[in-house]
Amino acid sequence: MSGDAQACQELVDTHQRMVYHLALQLLSNHDDALDLSQDVFLTVFRSIHRFRGDSALQTWIYRIVINQARNRQRWWRRRRRADQVSLDAVIAERGEFAAPIGPTSPDRALDQKQLGERLWRALNRLPFDQRSAVVLRELHSMRYAEIAFSLGVTNAAVKSRLARARQTLRTELRPQ
């Protein structure tokens, strides 16, 4: 049992940052992300015997995170909680956006900050599958095949979701 506990500890230590970050990026809430991370690891421990090695262990864990986050989103929707995160809530949760790095003028920095806020607001409004595709690609640098496995869809579906999501996000870059 002690060996078992040690193996669990190592598994958590190895993957906890990845799991927590992805959960936070998908749910935009620290407490929810922490709770989800715990659930993910418990699910991993419960179902590790079903892991057949069709993918890397990390990709398999990604898939579990995505599935659990999707289930939470559905639950929230059923509970009629707002599926749209307010900007105030986002800022209260994660603080002000940082100014871009580099020698830029104050006006430009402000514009960039406002643009970033608008973009993240748009990202949070995206359908869950599009948002997760963007997050996995842009923030976790996953290949299409890995994203497809994590989302349980085909490569073509990944390509299509990314294209549609980026089209939506590009509109936020246009001057208002």
Burial class (CB in 10 A: 0-12, 13-18, 19+), 142: buried
Residue 121 beta carbon to another protein: minimum distance, rounded to whole angstroms:
10
Q: Does 5 bind another protein (CB under 8 A)?
A: yes
Site for another protein in 136-175 (CB under 8 A): 137-139, 143-144, 159, 162-163, 166, 169-170, 173
Whole-angstrom CA distances from 120 to 70, 111, 123 are 19, 14, 5
Choice between 70 and 115, CB closer to another protein: 115
Among residues 18, 115, 153, 157, the one that binds another protein under rule CB under 8 A: 115
Task: Find the length of the chain.
Answer: 176
CB 40 within 8 A of CB 23: yes
Q: Does 30 bind another protein (CB under 8 A)?
A: yes
Which residues touch 91 (CB under 8 Å, ≥6 apart)? 97, 117
Question: Around Cβ 62, how many Cβ atoms within 10 Å?
Answer: 26
* 21-29, 51-59, 68-76, 77-85 -> range binding another protein (CB under 8 A): 21-29
Choice between 56 and 163, CB closer to another protein: 163
Q: Does 108 bind another protein (CB under 8 A)?
A: no
Q: Does 60 bind another protein (CB under 8 A)?
A: no
